[in-house]
Amino acid sequence: MTLNPFLHPRNPYKTRPDFKELARKDLEFRGVAKIELSGRVSVDFGDRDTVRVLTESLLRQDFGLTVRIPQGALVPTLPLRFNYLLWIEDLLLANGLAGSNVVGLDVGTGSTCVYPLLAAKHLGWCMFATEKNEESLVRARENVEANGMNDRVKLLPAGPDSFFGAAVNAEKVDFTMCNPPFYGEDHSAEHGGEKDRDASAPLPPAGRDHEMCIEGGEVALVRAMLEESSLLCDKVAVFTCMIGHKSNVKLLKKHLLEMGDKRPTPRFVFTEFCQGRTMRWGVAWTFRPQFLLPDVSLLKQRHQEKKKHAPMTFTLDLPPGDDCKRLYSYVVEWMKAIDVIVKASKVSEDRCSFTIKTFHQNWKNQRRKRREKMRLIVGSDVNAADVTQPALEPPMPKKTKVVSDDSDEMEVDQQHEDQEQRKQGEIQLCCRVFCEKADGDKMNLEVQMIDGVAGKDEVHQVIQYIKNRAARCTGK
């Protein structure tokens, strides 16, 4: 299953590149693209050299960046790089940081220097970048110089025992980022990701040993980074890092929670980076109490939406002989009592479905309202029993008509609905209700929230209101 629907909303590659147009514009890409007789242009993503040329062409055509990726080096996948950069931008925007005022540090930038170049070109940031490997540092400098960006991207050799020291000692830094090697030194890149990879996904990225593996793996690296960051809490607003394996997210979360002993306690947030058939994770942490860390996980939002709209089921006991048509008439009467609109879809003796919608929350505090009503009738000629003991079977709503044709459709009080909609108030709750006759005098109901600002907690209250009214009908 492709994860592209979960790309960051501002990711330039939410729309798939037009390979035919790219081949027309870019001679190098045309040399590796597959051009069919029909004119369709495709790319062999299983060929490392093709992917390298494609990435260089996209950087050149989409961003005006001339970047040379050395043969055999790690090829940066641009959708993933943008997911990471744009997530950082979201964190900064939430704290009023944007544009040329932003200063960032890329730890271990690699030979392409792709994060700083994209950050400077696409987002307008000023970037520092460090790199331990001498050959990669030379190639990175060549890429920066080829694009005339020495004034926006400053490359520094990494210190032997420090992630942040070289740049942080020179300037203020708003954020740090790192796309570390994902594998331990005894874990080959070609096979290390197989367990986490979908069987139909492309092969894990190939690269040089220092780009793919590190002593202790990514967990050891991020833990060391966390330790050092606690000494720089007054110099850096937020620290971030990419994580390659889901199993390591739990380990790092536990470590973050345990950091309070003898050190400043960080606040942190995790997110997911989804692209193609590959998922990565990101962690951000800060030691500044006022720095906001919004949770902008698209996957979590989608999960919450799905959970919010998941149907809820329950069972009602009704008076002997009642069917779904009769239950619908009860519901219409109960809902009208609290200003809820009911609109039927299909109604028969065995099944019915209808929608309830309201612009109010009048189902709340029903017990208190009954007590107040009782107090008002004390001393009057009204018999209190008439209030507390409703008829076992409320009459059919006067304006609700059962249609006995083949469709078994039911008409609702349209005038009532029109009056409510003319108020143009905000919909508090809109739910779809399904009912099916069960054994004996029982009815199975399913309620699914469709819309409304009241939220799912209020759906539970509406269900409880229906249960209470049904119980009063049966005297149970």
Enumerate the β-bridge partners of residue 214: 184
- Is 448 domain-assigned? yes
Take residue 109 and report the two structure tokens written for it.
């930038």
Q: Are residues 251 and 377 in the same domain?
A: no
288 and 345, same domain (yes or no): no
The answer to whether residues 371 and 442 belong to one domain is: yes
Runs of H (alpha helix) within 64-200 = 78-93, 114-122, 134-146, 165-168, 189-192
Q: Helix (H, G, I), strand (E, B), or coil: what is residue 434? A: strand
* Final residue of a structural domain among 257, 288, 304: 304
**Residue 201 belongs to some domain of the structure:** yes
- Residue 363 belongs to a domain with what CATH number? 3.30.310
pLDDT in tens, the chain (476 residues): 577 888 999 999 999 999 999 999 999 999 999 988 888 999 998 899 999 999 999 999 999 999 999 988 889 999 999 999 999 999 999 999 998 899 999 999 999 999 999 999 999 999 999 998 899 999 999 999 999 999 999 998 887 788 987 667 767 899 999 998 876 656 544 444 444 444 444 445 566 666 666 777 889 999 999 999 988 888 899 999 999 999 999 999 999 988 866 677 899 999 999 988 889 999 999 999 999 998 877 666 666 666 666 788 888 888 888 889 888 998 999 988 888 899 988 888 889 999 989 888 877 666 666 676 667 766 555 555 554 444 334 444 444 444 434 344 444 444 454 454 545 467 888 889 999 988 888 889 999 888 888 777 888 888 988 988 888 877 76
- Domains identified in the chain, total number: 2
Structural element, H or E, at residue 433: strand 429-437
Indicate if 455 and 328 belong to the same structural domain: yes
User: Do 201 and 263 fall into the same domain?
Assistant: yes
The answer to whether position 50 is within a domain reads: no
Q: Which residues contact 130 (CB under 8 A, 6 or more apart)?
A: 105, 106, 107, 108, 109, 155, 156, 157, 158, 159, 163, 166, 167
Do 383 and 300 share a structural domain?
no
pTM score, two decimals? Answer: 0.66
> Measuring CA to CA, how many Å separate 449 from each of 88, 338, 365, 459?
34, 18, 21, 7
Q: Is the dihedral of CA 29, 31, 35, 39 positive or negative?
A: positive
Match 């079977």 to its residue by tokens: 393
Q: What is the CATH number of the domain that holds 240?
A: 3.40.50.150
The domain boundary residue, chosen from 276, 304, 332: 304
Q: Note down the domain range covering 168.
A: 73-304
